[in-house]
Amino acid sequence: MDPDTPRTTPRKSALFDDYTLSEIRRAASTGIYDIRGGGSKRRLPHFDDLLFLGASMSRYPLEGYRERCDTGVVLGTRFAKTPLELKIPITIAGMSFGSLSGQAKEALGRGANAAGTSTTTGDGGMTPEERGHSKQLVYQYLPSRYGMNPDDLRKADAIEVVVGQGAKPGGGGMLLGQKISDRVAEMRTLPKGIDQRSACRHPDWTGPDDLEIKIQELREITNWEKPIYIKIGGARPYYDTALSVKAGADVVVVDGMQGGTAATQEVFIEHVGQPTLACVRPAVQALKDLDMHRRVQLIVSGGIRNGADVAKALALGADAVSIGTAALVALGDNDPHWEDEYRQLGTTAGAYDDWHEGRDPAGISTQDPELAKRLDPVRAGRRLANYLGVMTLEAQTIARACGKTHLHNLEPEDLVAVTVEAAAMAQVPLAGTDWIPGRGY
Amino acid sequence: MAELDLAEVGLRAVNQQLHALSRESNDLDWRLLNPLGRHSIAVGLDAPAKVTVEGHAGFYCGGMNKQAEIIIEGHAGPGVAENMMSGTVRVKGNASQSAGATGHGGLLVIEGDASSRCGISMKGIDIVVGGSVGHMSAFMAQLGTLVICGDAGEALGDSIYEAKLFVRGKVESLGADCIEKEMTPEHLETLGSLLERAGIDADPEDFRRYGSARKLYNFDVDHADAY
Amino acid sequence: MCGIVGFFTKNPEFESRLGEHLSSMLIEMSDRGPDSAGVAIYRDPAPKESVKLALFSADDAFPWKPLAKEMTKSLGHKADVEVRASHAIIVVHGDLDGVRAWLGEHHPELRVMSAGSTIEIYKEKGLPKDVVRRFALREITGTHALGHTRMATESAVTTQHSHPFSTGLDLCLVHNGSLSNHNRLRRRLERDGVEFQTDNDTEVAAGYLTWRLRQGASLDEALEAAIRDLDGFYTFAIGTKNGFAVLRDPIACKHAVLAETDDWVAMATEYRSIATLPGADKARIWEPVPARIYSWGRA
């Protein structure tokens, strides 16, 4: 070939990008799908695509540092004798001892206590340490019923019946055996070191009509004291919220697809469910259609990161939000401090998601005592409390700018969207217009 | 002996009175009249009481029981003795599906038949069924013993962990990773004492034992079709 | 997601109390289905060469008597009408297709809820106790009946979305569960001329049976085929002219209890619906096994 002939620049396929190619090779070599932790990593319309309309002339703002802007929320006012009273509308989502180290669970409890909010158990039962370190603890009732027992049920401040998770609506997980330590195995009544295949349906009820009976049983056992939450994956949020209310929920938790998980198939995380932003309005509409908005409280989770996200979720109609991934980052997850070790694991700080493998350099998603020791629960708890405080201050800042004396007075009309997609999903106008695309619910 | 009429005082009052019992209570022998298929009867008990349900019960009778001896003089609805921790639940008639689901301990005796998913996700409970069980029984059974004096339906012990299964009649089919295992003298003894505790007259020698092949315990690409 | 009840009299003495028993059974299933309720009652066979239709009007003040007069005049045979709240039973000499065509042309606002010789379907939004009162169901007599209370899953709460769904002459279907392939199946059936009034999954199951029966299948054959073609979770009860049938899907998550005495057969999603029937304490009680068709009928 004539050396002077211009050469075509090598061009990589947008479709078969490096990640896709590596996945094909990995699948061909191992014969198993990729399992990982965390939530969706793809770019999705999110709360960032919404903006608040602060006050100027037509409305008056509150003085940022002086005039009150309340943040408290009461969860479980419908049937429960003792609702949960939280100082801030940000709760800590369910994460199990097993998926997380004992130190990490303790840190979550300490941070939540300091901020005046609740933590949640996970798949694997309640540890005495966790109960001890959390003033307000929500006990998850899951299909596996690992470690489920009536004493812990009665010790809980609320019960969360988990029907689905945003990362994997309709699925159970498969947690590889590395994290099934002696203690985790004992709590879950499983042999040590085996892969844990989680069920996707509850073993003794199917459907909202049966769930109503199950909830009655849980209430009878706990003397009708505890608020009962129902947690659903963001898939069909309108119907699922409506059915949760009909089944007797005090609180509905809607977890969008950016919600994290300890471990499930990558294909599940990225291809099943709806973005959190798209879940809020249908869920709120279902509550309104049943005349239950604010009577049954709505918690939204899945990718909440800062006070703006909190304020936006509340403006769209949520009563509170829940954080998981962000709380772990506050404790120290994926911290660049451990970059050398992340590199040894073939990843980098910020991308580490093999939480199921139990080799977390930050000592959070692990059962290895040496790694777990790296996390100081007191200091990590303090970091979480700081972070929760900042989120709350940020949300208050926005609310005051909109003239609100309580975060719950934020409204959809305080928002505009900067993309057509977000405008359609959040059902707020595209900025500069009065156009709400595709008004559905 | 104390009597409570469910039709008169209602479920809440009955459960409240039963929850108030303790080892020191004067009367620990209770009869519950007119259950009429009501749900959540005698759930969450935690005292060495004897509670007799005079008729058919609905869902979750004896759910999460600790210590108590509960006798259902009729049929039981779905999830009887679900998540039991200790004590005894005895069903004189048949039980609907998910009997003894996720039970951690205690003894569940079903004198008649049990429907599908008997002993699903069981975690240490012992279950003795005088008759037959339906499909998917002992699904994901983790620990404990399920004794079936009659036949077992399809997919017995699918994805089973360390629970032990004994069947006297025929097994329609075994689920993934469940296999027949050798009956050792030790197993015969376990079975014999369980039958005796259950008050069911059967010869342990007539039973076969089933349990986990443990091939699904850790992922192996060559067993992928069994997941 | 719902509650189902069925009552079939073996002893004719029970026919006079059919409505009373059915109503009590239905109200017991209120928790499972607070959105709407409906029943199919089998009674008073229409005279030979006549048809009996259950019609629904969304207009509470619909002039049913003038309608009967209009039909009598137009069709050349006397049409009898009996009004029950939003529904009316019309018995008229003639073939069904002719009567349907006439109604479609002259009163497109009316919905045919059921058609046949003995079937009468009544259904409405609201709590079962209110539906029972509105239609005065307690006083209704008959040989057998099915009832349904609905907790809507993915389709709207309307009268048309309520069960039972008519699936052909004297046939109806009620469903507890949730189908997962009904949209595709609906499109296939529509190509074959089956008409649907709603987006409800159960109506697809009903339409499917209608379609199979129209092709010449027996009810048992149609149900066998349904086990293959319908995906999802279901317990069906099917009302027939002479009795009723029960079928659960092969996974069988949705409950059903059957009870039989010398006097009656009863079916319900939960035993509590059966508990107060006379003789229930002595009844033979069992649970239908998955994917098996149970049916009762009189010759």
Select the more confidently predicted residue: A172 or C77.
C77
Q: How far apart are CA B5 and CA A277, in angstroms?
A: 51
Q: Chain centroid to CA C208: how far?
A: 15
Give the closest of B39, B102, B104 to A213, CB-based: B39
A46: Cβ contacts below 8 Å, ≥ 6 apart: A258, A275, A276, A277, A303, A422
B/e letters for C81-93, b = 16+ CB within 10 Å, e = fewer, are beeeebbbbbbbb
Quick one: pLDDT at residue B227?
Answer: 64
Task: Give the largest Cα separation in chain B, rounded.
Answer: 62
**What is the full DSSP assignment across B158-207?**
TT--S-EEEESS-BS-B-TTEEEE---HHHHHHHHHHHHHHT----GGG-
Q: Do B96 and C286 touch (CB under 8 A)?
A: no
What are the chain B neighbours of C276 within 8 Å (beta carbons)? 36
Two tokens at A37? Answer: 């932790």
- Bridge partners of residue C55, in order along the sequence: C88, C112
Tokens linked to A275: 């973005």
CB contacts of B59 in chain C (<8 Å) are 270
Residue C31 and residue A213: Cβ atoms within 8 Å? yes
> Are B78 and C273 a contacting pair at CB < 8 A?
no
Task: Give the closest residue to A304 by CA, choosing from A80, A9, A89, A29.
Answer: A89
Nearest chain B residue to C272 by CA distance is B37
pLDDT exceeds cutoff 70 at C15: yes
Residue A116 has pLDDT above 90, yes or no: yes
**Beta pairing partners, C265:** C8, C260
Mean pLDDT score of chain A:
94
Check pLDDT > 60 for residue A440.
Answer: no
Point out the residue among C34, C254, C269 whose CB comes nearest to the CB of A246.
Answer: C34
Whether B66 contacts chain A with CB within 8 A = yes
pLDDT tens for residues C165-222?
Answer: 988 899 999 999 999 999 999 999 999 999 888 889 999 999 999 999 989 999 899 9
* Helix H or strand E segment including C184: helix C182-191
> In this predicted model, what pLDDT tens digit does every residue of C59-75 receive, in sequence order?
989 999 999 999 999 98
pLDDT at A173 over 70: no
Instruction: Please give the average per-residue pLDDT across A90-119, as a whole number.
Output: 96
Contact B115 C271 (CB under 8 A): no
| Minimum-distance CB partner of A150 among B66, B162, B217 | B66
Picking from A79, A201, A205, A209 by the largest number of C CB atoms within 10 A of its own CB, the best residue to mutate is A209
Read off the tokens for B22: 């303790």
Residue B63 is nearest to which of A189, A194, A221, comparing CB atoms?
A221
How far is Cα A287 from Cα A269, in angstroms, rounded to an integer?
A: 27
Of the partner residues B55, B94, B115, the one whose CB lies closest to the CB of residue C281 = B55
Side-chain-side CA neighbours of B132 within 13 Å: the count stands at: 14
DSSP secondary structure of A351-409: T---GGGT--TTSSS---HHHHTTS-HHHHHHHHHHHHHHHHHHHHHHHHHTT-SBGGG
* A239–C153 CB contact, under 8 Å: yes
Structure tokens at B216: 């699904």
B155 sits in the region (left: phi over 0; alpha: psi -120 to 50; else beta) called: left
DSSP code at position A429: P
CB A380 within 8 A of CB A18: no
pLDDT for A441 equals 47
Q: What is the pLDDT of residue B55?
A: 94
Nearest CA in chain A to B80: A204
Q: Residue A349 above 50 pLDDT?
A: yes
Residue B191 tokens read as 């079975």
**How much is the pLDDT for A174?**
65
Whole-angstrom CA distances from B129 to A375, B137, B150, B165, B169 are: 50, 11, 8, 11, 12
User: How many angstroms away from the CA of B44 is the closest CA of chain A?
Assistant: 5
Cα–Cα dist A203/A131, whole Å: 26
**Chains in touch with C (≥3 Cβ pairs < 8 A):** A, B
More confident call, B163 vs C78: B163
* Average pLDDT of the residues in C108-128: 94
- What average pLDDT does the segment A134-155 reach? 96
**Which pair of structure tokens corresponds to residue A334?**
């994926």
Residues of C assigned a catalytic role: 2
pTM of the model: 0.94
User: What is the number of other CB atoms lying within 10 angstroms of the CB of residue A192?
Assistant: 12
Q: Chain A: nearest CA to B57, how far in angstroms?
A: 13
Percent of chain C whose pLDDT exceeds 70: 100
Please give, rounded to a whole number of angstroms, the shortest distance from the CA of C81 to a CA of chain A: 37
Q: Which amino acid is at A374?
A: R
Residues of chain B below pLDDT 50: none
- Say yes or no to pLDDT of A66 above 90: no
- Which 3 state secondary structure label does DSSP give A25? helix
Per-residue pLDDT tens digits for A223-247: 999 999 999 999 999 999 999 999 9
A196-to-A102, A176, A219, B177 alpha-carbon distances in Å: 19, 6, 30, 14
A329 Cβ partners below 8 Å, 6+ apart?
A: none
* Cis peptide preceding C164, ω within 30 of 0: yes
Question: Which chain B positions have a beta carbon within 8 Å of A195's beta carbon?
Answer: 216-219
Tell me which residue of A105, A147, A99 sits closest to A130, measured CA to CA: A105
Residues of C in contact with B135 (CB under 8 A): 252, 290
The answer, yes or no, to whether residue A394 has pLDDT greater than 90, is yes
**Across the strands, what pairs with C112?**
C55
Q: Which residues of C touch A243 (CB under 8 A)?
A: 1, 151, 153
